Structures are given as C-alpha cells and as structure tokens.
Amino acid sequence: MRHIHIVVAGRVQGVGFRAFTQQVAVENDIVGWVRNHKNGSVEIEAAGNDLQIDQFSRK
C-alpha cells in the first residue's frame, strides 16, 4: 500500500474542494482523510495501491 500526504494552498476552502477530493477518493477506492486548516490550506492523507494513488493525484 502506498501513502501520500498533500497540502494544497490557494483558494481551496469554501469552493467544494474537500467534497470533490472525497468523491475522487471514493471513485478510486482510496482511504484516508481531508481537513481544512486555519491558514486556508487543505491537507490530504491518502492510501491505496500504485494505480489508485496515481489516478487520485492526477485529478
């Protein structure tokens, strides 16, 4: 199983980014979590096989 940790900054809160990320994760059988930070960034922790992670991270 492969794990990735991503922090996304910019305009990512209040625009449906977490919901979109969750949808893409479900579609690719990814497990993990997504959370907002007070500084406006969004943090993602995701795990899956190589193909799943590659497809997830390309979206």
28 falls in which pLDDT band (50, 70, 90)?
very high
Residue 36: active-site member: yes
The three-state secondary structure class of 17 is helix
pTM: 0.86
The three-state secondary structure class of 41 is coil
What is the assigned CATH class of domain 2-58?
alpha beta
Residue in 18, 28, 35, 49 annotated catalytic: 18
pLDDT of 59 reads 82
Residue in 28, 36, 49, 58 annotated catalytic: 36
Q: Taking residues 10-37, report their average pLDDT.
A: 94
Q: Which residues contact 56 (CB under 8 A, 6 or more apart)?
A: 4, 24, 25, 28, 30, 46, 48
53 falls in which pLDDT band (50, 70, 90)?
very high
